[in-house]
């Protein structure tokens, strides 16, 4: 499908690079663009003369859609449709994003979140149809369609039902996270903007295995999260096991951030973002080849999103160092020092400096506790020793005639579990 991009900004020079990427991600071929710098026109969004220019270009290029990198209200959408050739669809930024989300949603959770976002988008439009039609006493006024007062209530009821189902899914996921922690896993989340290279970096950090809903590792699943150069490759979450020196780590890749998203859209995907908020450590990945002002803006927005509900430490990862020289990298490190005081610079593409990132992950994850347990020599003792080996970093095991001394380090929850298992063996079991 061919499309023309249209964008208006209040000041400065309009940048259409992101909206073009979004259009391509949705399956459109961009064949032209029209931009304007001026205040918003209440009726058309753009000035009338610029809309006439857009209509001419649309007719000459035989396109199916005009995609605005702006938010259009229902009346602007209708008015623009009247100015353009018959059959040309008018799509605004958020309708396009919802279209992409809908195409990429594979899991039940992702589908619910897309449906929630669509309903949140539709609700004010349904209210506008009802309000305007009542005032004008003309159902379908301005081509907005027949109105039905009950539609508003239907939408609100559907939103409530979806929230309830997402809450049930989240409770299941929280239980799963807790089981993983009790099994000795640290949880690390990849966050950042789309096309920052999160999925490519995941290929360097994590084993080629998915972790399914039942906590089992399946080597026959799809190899890795895709790492194509397109937006929204990862809509849901992908979790894989990685080795971080002395720790067992589960690494989760989530949907990428994108600029200028309204609150209602971010809120619709809160359930996916919980995978980030509830991690033990967050890797905030940025594309270091972007202009420094763009990186700074993305870091500020990411911090606002993450610090709202997150308590885990954040490590900034300057990715794609294969695309910049050493001098540019140093300049950007210095310019971003206030927002990223101690970043790790890597190339997810060729693996450069990934070992340093793994060391940083190991260092910044929550501290482990050191423990020495004296276990009585019973028939069940070896199973406890084996469990400690599976869930902790064992430094030494000393077998005596009547007992076993196990020296290890582990997460606090694992230490507590090991003490409980030891006490079940015999009241004589104790910490050394």
Annotated binding site: 192-199, 234, 253-256, 319-322, 347-349
Give CA–CA dist 350/198, Å, rounded: 13
Give CA–CA dist 153/178, Å, rounded: 37
Binding residues for GTP: 192-199, 253-256, 319-322, 347-349
Residue 270, CA distances (Å) to 104, 234, 274, 350 in order: 17, 15, 6, 33
Tell me, what DSSP letter sits at residue 323? G
Give CA–CA dist 283/205, Å, rounded: 12
**How many other CB atoms sit within 10 Å of the CB of residue 146?**
9
Burial of 402 from C-beta contacts in 10 A (0-12 / 13-18 / 19+) = exposed
> b/e per residue, 222-259, with b = 16+ CB within 10 A?
eebbebeeebbbbbbbbbbbbebeebbbbbbbbbbbbe
Determine which helix (DSSP H) or strand (DSSP E) holds 399, and give its type and residue range: strand 393-399
Structure tokens at 20: 């073009």
> b/e per residue, 340-360, with b = 16+ CB within 10 A?
beebbbbbbbeeeebeebbeb
Binding residues for Mg(2+): 199, 234
Strand order in the sheet with 393-399: 393-399, 403-410, 369-376, 430-431
Backbone angles phi, psi at 214, to 5 degrees: -105, 15
Residue 352, CA distances (Å) to 118, 347, 349, 355, 358 in order: 41, 5, 8, 8, 12
Determine which helix (DSSP H) or strand (DSSP E) holds 92, and give its type and residue range: strand 89-92
Give CA–CA dist 21/51, Å, rounded: 23
3-state SS class at 169: helix
Tell me, what DSSP letter sits at residue 41? B
């Amino acid at each position: 499908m061919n499309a023309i991009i249209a964008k208006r900004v209040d000041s400065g020079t309009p940048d259409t690079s992101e909206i073009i990427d979004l259009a391509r991600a949705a399956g459109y071929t961009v064949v032209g663009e029209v931009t304007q710098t001026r205040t918003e026109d209440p009726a058309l969004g753009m000035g009338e003369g610029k809309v006439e220019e857009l209509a001419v270009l649309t007719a000459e290029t035989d396109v199916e859609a005009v995609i605005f990198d702006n938010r259009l209200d229902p009346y602007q959408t209708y008015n623009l449709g009247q100015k353009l050739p018959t059959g040309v669809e008018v799509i605004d930024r958020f309708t396009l994003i919802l279209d992409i989300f809908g195409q990429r949603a594979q899991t039940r959770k992702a589908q619910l979140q897309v449906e929630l976002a669509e309903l949140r988008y539709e609700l004010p439009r349904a209210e506008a149809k009802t309000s305007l039609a009542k005032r004008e006493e003309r159902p379908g006024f301005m081509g907005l369609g027949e109105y039905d007062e009950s539609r508003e209530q239907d939408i609100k009821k559907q939103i409530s039902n979806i929230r309830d189902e997402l809450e049930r899914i989240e409770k299941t996921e929280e239980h799963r996270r807790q089981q993983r922690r009790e099994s000795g896993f640290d949880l690390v989340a990849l966050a950042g903007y789309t096309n920052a290279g999160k999925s490519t970096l995941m290929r360097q950090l994590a084993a080629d295995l998915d972790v399914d809903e039942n906590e089992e590792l399946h080597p026959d699943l799809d190899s890795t999260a895709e790492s194509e150069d397109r937006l929204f490759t990862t809509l849901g979450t992908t979790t894989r096991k990685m080795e971080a020196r002395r720790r067992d780590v589960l690494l989760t890749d989530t949907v990428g951030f994108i600029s200028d998203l309204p609150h209602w859209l971010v809120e619709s995907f809160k359930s996916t973002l919980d995978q980030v908020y509830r991690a033990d450590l967050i890797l905030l990945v940025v594309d270091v080849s972007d202009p420094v002002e763009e990186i700074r803006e993305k870091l500020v927005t990411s911090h606002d999103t993450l610090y709202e509900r997150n308590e885990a430490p954040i490590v900034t990862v300057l990715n794609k160092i294969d695309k910049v020289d050493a001098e540019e990298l140093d300049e950007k490190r210095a310019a971003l020092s206030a927002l990223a005081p101690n970043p790790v610079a890597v190339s997810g593409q060729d693996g450069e400096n990934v070992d340093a990132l793994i060391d940083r992950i190991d260092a910044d994850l929550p501290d482990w506790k050191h423990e020495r347990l004296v276990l009585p020599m019973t028939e069940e003792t070896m199973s406890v020793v084996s469990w400690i080996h599976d869930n902790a970093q064992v430094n030494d095991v000393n077998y005596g005639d009547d007992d076993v001394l196990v020296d290890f380090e582990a997460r606090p929850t694992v230490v507590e579990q090991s003490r409980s298992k030891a006490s079940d063996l015999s009241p004589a079991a104790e910490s050394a």
